[in-house]
Amino acid sequence: MHESGGDSSAAATSKNHFKDGIIDLLAGTAGGVANVYAGQPLDTVKVKVQTFPNLYSNWVVCLKDTYKLDGIRGLYAGTLPALAANVAENAVLFTAYGYCQKTIATLNGLEDVKHMTPLENAFSGSLAAVFAATVLCPTELVKCKLQAAREMKQKCTPFSVCRDIAKTTGFRGFFVGMTPTLAREVPGYFFFFGAYETCRYLLTEEGQRKEEIGLAKTAIAGSAGGMALWTSIYPADVVKSRMQYMFSSCWIKAIRHISVSPRILRFYSLDSPFFKVEVVSSERKVQAKKSVAPRFEKKHRQKISDYLKQMATPEIEAQLAPLRAAVKEYGDLIRDLKAKGAPKIDIDKAVVELKARKRRLEETEIALAPKEASFDRLKLEDLLKRRFFYDQSFAIYGGVTGLYDFGPMGCSLKANMLQEWRKHFILEEGMLEVDCTSLTPEPVLKASGHVDRFADWMVKDVKNGECFRADHLIKNSIEKLMNDKKVSAEMKKDGEDVLARLEGFDDKDMHEVITRFKFKSPITGNDLTEPIAFNLMFPTQIGPTGDFKAFLRPETAQGIFVNFKRLLEFNQGKLPFAAAQIGLGFRNEISPRQGLIRVREFTMCEIEHFVDPEDKSFPKFAKIADQKLVLFSACNQLDGAPAREVAIGEAVANKTVANETLGYYMARCHQFLMKVGIDGRRLRFRQHLSNEMAHYAQDCWDAEILTSYGWIECVGNADRACYDLQQHFKATNVKLVAEKKLPQPIDVNVVEAQANMALLGKSFKKDSKKIQTALQQLTSEQVTALEEELLSKQIYNLDINGENYPLTPDLLNIKKYSKKLHVQEITPSVIEPSYGIGRIMYALLEHSFRQREGDEQRTFLAFKPLVAPIKCSILPISANETLVPVMEAVKEELARYELSYKVDDSSGTIGRRYARTDEIGIPFGITVDFDSDKTTPHTVTIRHAETMSQIRLPISELGRLISDLVAGRQQWSDAQAKYPRFEANAE
């Protein structure tokens, strides 16, 4: 009987335990759901502040910005995985907590969990947290990624996040952040349940049980437990969020990233106040609004302007001096090695070290830059996207990287820049303009070298197919090894040798390096394929058969070169002359990035100036000789010295710039960039180092503009010598030469190899024409050598592109004669300025970005009127019909001067409408008010967007004034001096 009663009691206890577990499960589930819907907005804010500390200054700013940008939906981002996370966590946690209480009570000999101390309850909670962490980690990973999606510029759903994690890292990827999750949950719930049970104990009155204290006191106890939990776990929670956002499996790396963040933020600052969004104060007294925290505060890494290097304080210069000396040391070493004719491998090794020292100098300059100087690129990108200046092509289908569509404002801005380029160069310099096809047959690009050399080696991730440029991957991976203290000195030396020889590597060499060093995908850590050649041109076919291979042109220059003969005839056979072309170029970039900076389809403006190789003077050079440019010469780069401002005449005289023609186009380039609105303080001309220039180039200077992406090459000014015309002559046997009249006739001896076509055709069939062309292209010295070999060996092996053709004496005749020459045939040299309009346009957008003084949220674009997409806005003060005739008169006057305008007759206040038109860069606003129709003749006011000042004038004088302001014939100050000021109410 006793034994039977014991079994019955045990069964009842087990049944009660199961029942308690079900109750705990349901209660935890309900609590989890309530927790999500009550606390999800603040949880979203918490994750964003943890993940992007440099983007949000505090949680209030984050809350406001998230609501402004994405509304309630943004605050509840990740609600679905949050529900899963909280329901799973609370259900498992409270179920496990009940069982853990019973286990610890049993171990301590207690009959009822109600008799447990707060410390025993705390241990039960920490043990239960181990089980809860296993279901919490995957769901929180998905939630964290969804909450950070906007700042990471991603569009994703819970399903897409899960799919991507599974695809890239498999099942283990869902447990990224498990270590800090355990480090958070276990001690966190020790403190939570400890504080919760302690408060319940303290709030229980004498003669009362803890379960009877009531809902309010229980809630107070829970609040105390929550505060104890988050106070103890917050550091581990930050580490978890960083790991899950960065998708890093190393919690030590995440801690290191957090611990050095102040120094990183300093790195992200710029080098001078003029890199800050320019704050514009108006000439009118406007009541300053309460300072509003900017919507975005993320700073982007910048390179330092050499203009500012000259302005550095003595303290900063003292820290930079040893680094400059280190750069100069290796610059001198490289010069010495070249002078002594050292092996190329030794020079290449020295160049690698020189670049490393230049990088250390640049990073130190960045670190020492003032923190307050910053450019907020995200604000600009937000404006450009909202007002549709441009956007990614096919965006509704997910977009295509490297392709962009220009909206109304971007299209007009680009058209105005091209129109001004055409006036500045083609019309003012009397150039010959051509418009050639974008489809280019393969033989043309084979001759120019693009088919063979315009390619990169590429490797792929074996699992997800992601592509990487092989040389970039090797370079970045080896540089990472060099900075790793655990790597042996022998391996580092091996890495240095690889970097020195990397430029000459083929696919086999690269594969050997990747295999030897065991390099993996930098994104996923997966294995990589063998390198494959990836030509950067877009291939296509002409005609239905597919036999006629062609490419979309990678540059517009080749169309000018192949038409050189026709252009020379049009110019009456005279040198020098210049031909220009505006058109599209196409390059199938492996990894396009940085917006308009690196794209797959782009607009180019190229000039080919053909000149006598022995006389590269320029007739109009004296007009610009005194113009000063900021030049960053090769010598300055090797010495670690900053760029310096030099008159272009002086630079040509001391041979820093190779010749007058190149110098003239550099000065004209500077004038054009300044005219369209580029900030002169952020513009320099950098000379190519010898190892950067093409083998045929004699000198090359890039016009570089400083943007938030660093110094960006926007214009290339190169002396290409005679290379292109000679290559096309070799491929076609069509002479692309000019005739130069000699001062006195001269007698020359001519030696030619003439093919016997009858016998040559029988022997070599279809190749006979190719052999005849090759013989005609031989120089006199080569023909003489051919004759000597035929006499001695009775055979001559003619090599044509690697193919050997044995020629016997009967197949050709050597003809010798003399003739009198009155003209000399010369292959012209080419000076080529090449403009990337998309890059210049992006730099212009950055340099034109402004914000109002006292109102950081009110940003706008201050374009030069010359290139502004819309020249003026028409703003009626009211919808009153009496103003309609005045508006029609204004429109007619503007149309007479071909001035673009935008009418904003919406119902908003005049101040809001001014702000809207300012934002898109309209420089002048014409306001039609109630005084306009009361005067005869009718008058209107003109508002200058940048200064916000206004004048009143008759409509009959409106068109001429704005036309003069746009063309630069008058300045706004001139208009203010001529017409009466108009004082309006504060905007």
Give the C-alpha separation, 586 to 558, whole Å. 13
Averaged pLDDT, 186-194: 77
Binned at pLDDT 50, 70 and 90, residue 923 comes out as very high
Residue 308 is encoded by which pair of tokens?
Answer: 């500012």
Give the C-alpha separation, 246 to 783, whole Å. 67
Domain that holds residue 807: 738-826
Average pLDDT across the chain, whole number = 80
Handedness of CA 903, 906, 907, 913 (dihedral sign): negative
Does 44 share its domain with 142?
A: yes
| 550 lies in some domain | no
The winner for highest mean pLDDT among 720-724, 777-781, 956-960 is 956-960
Binned at pLDDT 50, 70 and 90, residue 610 comes out as very high
Tell me: the pLDDT tens digits for 77-104?
A: 656 666 666 666 777 777 787 788 888 8
Residue 905 is encoded by which pair of tokens?
Answer: 């007759």
Is residue 166 helix, strand or coil?
Answer: helix
Q: Name the residue among 429, 455, 425 with its Cα closest to residue 834.
A: 425
3-state secondary structure labels for all residues of 777-817: CCCHHHHHHHHHHHHHHCCEEEEECCEEEEECHHHEEEEEE
The pLDDT value recorded for residue 603 is: 95
Is 825 in contact with 735 (CB distance < 8 Å)? yes
| Domain end (from 226, 245, 262) | 262
The pLDDT value recorded for residue 719 is: 93
The more confident residue out of 260 and 695 is 695
Does 37 share its domain with 158?
A: yes
Give the C-alpha separation, 392 to 593, whole Å. 12
| Domain end (from 210, 228, 262) | 262
Give the C-alpha separation, 327 to 638, whole Å. 7
Please give the DSSP secondary-structure letter assigned to residue 612. -
Does 783 share its domain with 874?
A: no
CATH of the domain at 888: 3.40.50.800
Is 607 in contact with 580 (CB distance < 8 Å)? yes
Which of 41-50, 359-368, 518-527 shows the lowest mean pLDDT across its residues? Answer: 41-50
Does 877 share its domain with 822?
A: no
| 199 lies in some domain | yes
Position 588, amino acid: N
Binned at pLDDT 50, 70 and 90, residue 802 comes out as confident
Give the C-alpha separation, 232 to 188, whole Å. 6
Q: Are strands 849-852 and 278-280 parallel, antiparallel or unpaired?
A: parallel
Which of 53-67, 322-336, 569-583, 595-609 shows the lowest mean pLDDT across its residues? Answer: 53-67
Does 155 share its domain with 71?
A: yes
The pLDDT value recorded for residue 182 is: 74
Is 541 in contact with 594 (CB distance < 8 Å)? no
Is 275 in contact with 373 (CB distance < 8 Å)? yes
| 726 lies in some domain | no
Question: Does 286 have pLDDT greater than 80?
Answer: no
Which of 325-334, 341-350, 602-611 shows the lowest mean pLDDT across its residues? Answer: 341-350
Does 910 share its domain with 761?
A: no
The more confident residue out of 736 and 341 is 736
Does 99 share its domain with 160?
A: yes
Cα(first)–Cα(last) distance of the chain, in Å?
95
The pLDDT value recorded for residue 837 is: 95
| 234 lies in some domain | yes
CATH of the domain at 55: 1.50.40.10
| 314 lies in some domain | no
Residue 248 is encoded by which pair of tokens?
Answer: 């890093």
The more confident residue out of 623 and 176 is 623
Does 240 share its domain with 131?
A: yes
Q: Name the residue among 638, 633, 684 with its Cα closest to residue 655.
A: 633
Q: What are the b/e assignments for 170-182, b being 16+ CB within 10 Å?
A: eeebbbbbbbbbb
Tell me: the pLDDT tens digits for 202-225?
A: 888 777 777 777 777 787 877 887
Does 21 share its domain with 147?
A: yes
Averaged pLDDT, 949-969: 94
Does 27 share its domain with 139?
A: yes
Question: Does 939 have pLDDT greater than 60?
Answer: yes
Q: Name the residue among 555, 548, 549 with its Cα closest to residue 454.
A: 555
| 729 lies in some domain | no
Please give the DSSP secondary-structure letter assigned to residue 690. T
Does 131 share its domain with 223?
A: yes
Between CA 172 and CA 178, with CA 173 as vertex, the angle to 5 degrees is: 80
Binned at pLDDT 50, 70 and 90, residue 32 comes out as low
Give the C-alpha separation, 498 to 509, whole Å. 10
Q: Name the residue among 265, 278, 274 with its Cα closest to residue 57.
A: 265
* Cis upstream peptide for 576 (omega within 30°): yes
Give the C-alpha separation, 435 to 417, whole Å. 18
Is 666 in contact with 687 (CB distance < 8 Å)? no
Which of 297-301, 684-688, 892-896, 899-903 shows the lowest mean pLDDT across its residues? Answer: 297-301
Averaged pLDDT, 158-173: 71
Question: Does 290 have pLDDT greater than 50?
Answer: no
DSSP H/E element including 434: strand 432-434
| 953 lies in some domain | yes
Going along 591-727, which residue ranges are E strands? 601-611, 628-632, 644-647, 683-687, 699-707, 710-721
- Counted domains in the chain: 3
| 540 lies in some domain | no
The winner for highest mean pLDDT among 227-231, 385-389, 638-642, 811-815 is 385-389
Does 212 share its domain with 115?
A: yes
Averaged pLDDT, 288-312: 37
Which of 500-504, 531-535, 608-612, 670-674 shows the lowest mean pLDDT across its residues? Answer: 500-504
| Domain end (from 229, 245, 262) | 262
Instruction: Tell me the whole-structure pTM to 2 decimals.
Output: 0.64
Question: Does 956 have pLDDT greater than 60?
Answer: yes
